Amino acid sequence: MTTLAANQELACDIFCAVVDNFGDIGVCWRLARQLHAEHGWRVRLFVDDLTVFHALCPDVDATLPRQEAMGIAIEHWREPAHAGDTLAIADVVIEAFACELPHAYIAAMARRDPKPVWINLEYLSGEDWVADFHMRPSPHPRYPLDKSFFFPGLGKGTGGVLKERDLDARRERFDANAWWREFVGIERPGGEHTVVSLFAYENPAVDALLAQWRDGDVPVVLLVPEGRISGAVARFFDVPNFIAGTTARAGALEAHALGFVEQTRFDELLWAADINFVRGEDSFVRAQWAMKPFVWHIYPQADDAHLPKLDAALAHYTRTLDPSAREAAARFWHAWNGVGVPDWADFWAHRREWERRAVKWAKELAGIGDLAGNLAAHVASRISR
């Protein structure tokens, strides 16, 4: 059997099924770009919903079955048979979030010599059990193939999370004044304001929070990218809609609607705010690298299965804080995720602690290594066997 050289250019196929949000394709698109740009891999991305993909990357044409964007080959994954019957099998195959590879492709993987490195990329979790299952192999029941489970995580012994090599340098070069003029059309608010970015799923708690900002003593400037929370913001301000360019004011609250922010510029929104409300997986990770306080709206699951994951993330993030700050964070994050009523004054009283912790946490998280680098190292170890 032939053996691949660890230093040769590797071909990688990533399969992504878009569920009902931008999280799956968001993570896969970021991973694909990083593996290509930083590790020299030739990446082909199979996606079943190009319309959602287009929102994240306007260069993607939702009508084309095959195209290239930012150096990545993109296949519209409509009919599974062609993936194995007419396309060559890559050196590395990444099955994102248990999306199930086409049977024809798996059969072709089994015929390939050498066998590809097969990885099931799992969802991010901060729970302790993740480290025990990270990189655990799983033999296929019919074919001579082994799949390994690769778990992103927030603690040692996991795959870490995605972070580009130049991200810190880009953040340090960021010109907030220029960003505000370009995206909001106004000068950057002064230090007497609290700037909040709000990216969330539909959330019953939003009315209470908006009212607290409206009635508060400190002026709040709210940035709202168009999305699933926009309707609630429009209803609060009693306006027909809250689309890009809309501005509304009530009491101490001033809100600005932004267009949907493409992925390559999403970090800038986080850098431009004092605190970021984020949702799902991709924006949750980016908020941690932004070194700003943040609040996570985790993807809700049946029977509140998401709450242990929320608590696990809180445990990592707040573990070095004093008990009063930890409890305030838990109360507010839980309320934002449907358990209780958010109390902004109680939470934001710890602002300086959140700001200090945000910087330290980003450095701690970086110590695990980034997901793309850890995955590339895992592949290299598999190939050299």
Per-residue pLDDT, averaged over 14-21, amounts to 81
Per-residue model confidence (pLDDT) at position 83: 59
271, 176 Cβ separation under 8 angstroms: yes
For residue 2, name the pLDDT band (cuts at 50, 70, 90): very low
**CA 229, 233, 235, 236: dihedral to nearest 10 degrees?**
140
pLDDT digits (tens, 9 = 90+) for 312-335: 999 999 999 999 999 999 999 999
Per-residue pLDDT, averaged over 3-31, amounts to 79
The first and second tokens of residue 289, run together, are 């690298």
Who's near 13: CB < 8 A, 6+ residues apart? 43, 44, 45, 46, 89, 90, 92, 93, 94
| Helix/strand/coil for 14 | strand
The question of whether 9 is a catalytic residue gets the answer: no
pLDDT digits (tens, 9 = 90+) for 195-214: 999 999 999 999 999 999 99
Find the catalytic residue in 281, 282, 353, 370: 281
Averaged pLDDT of the chain: 92
66, 76 Cβ separation under 8 angstroms: yes
Per-residue model confidence (pLDDT) at position 82: 56
Report in angstroms the alpha-carbon separations of 156 from 13, 323, 361: 27, 24, 13
For residue 352, name the pLDDT band (cuts at 50, 70, 90): very high
Separation of alpha carbons 131 and 158, rounded Å? 5
Domains and CATH numbers, the chain: 11-161+369-383 (3.40.50), 167-366 (3.40.50)
Separation of alpha carbons 151 and 122, rounded Å? 5
For residue 24, name the pLDDT band (cuts at 50, 70, 90): confident
pLDDT digits (tens, 9 = 90+) for 228-268: 999 999 999 999 999 999 999 999 999 999 998 888 999 99
Separation of alpha carbons 146 and 226, rounded Å? 42
The first and second tokens of residue 19, run together, are 């569920």
For residue 5, name the pLDDT band (cuts at 50, 70, 90): very low
Amino acid at 34: Q
pLDDT digits (tens, 9 = 90+) for 112-142: 999 999 999 999 999 999 999 999 999 999 9
Find the catalytic residue in 24, 127, 268, 274: 24
For residue 85, name the pLDDT band (cuts at 50, 70, 90): low
290, 275 Cβ separation under 8 angstroms: no
Residue 237: DSSP 8-state: H
pLDDT digits (tens, 9 = 90+) for 284-302: 999 999 999 999 999 887 7
Query: Is the model's pLDDT at 220 over the cut of 80?
Result: yes
For residue 6, name the pLDDT band (cuts at 50, 70, 90): very low
14, 94 Cβ separation under 8 angstroms: yes
Per-residue model confidence (pLDDT) at position 99: 87
Burial class for 60, CB neighbours closer than 10 Å (0-12, 13-18, 19+): buried
| Helix/strand/coil for 326 | helix
Per-residue model confidence (pLDDT) at position 42: 96
End-to-end Cα separation, the chain, in angstroms: 12
Per-residue model confidence (pLDDT) at position 98: 82
For residue 8, name the pLDDT band (cuts at 50, 70, 90): low
The question of whether 281 is a catalytic residue gets the answer: yes
Per-residue pLDDT, averaged over 37-64, amounts to 92
Per-residue pLDDT, averaged over 23-41, amounts to 94
- Could you give the count of Cα atoms lying within 13 Å of 150 in the half-sphere of its Cβ? 26
The first and second tokens of residue 234, run together, are 């429009």
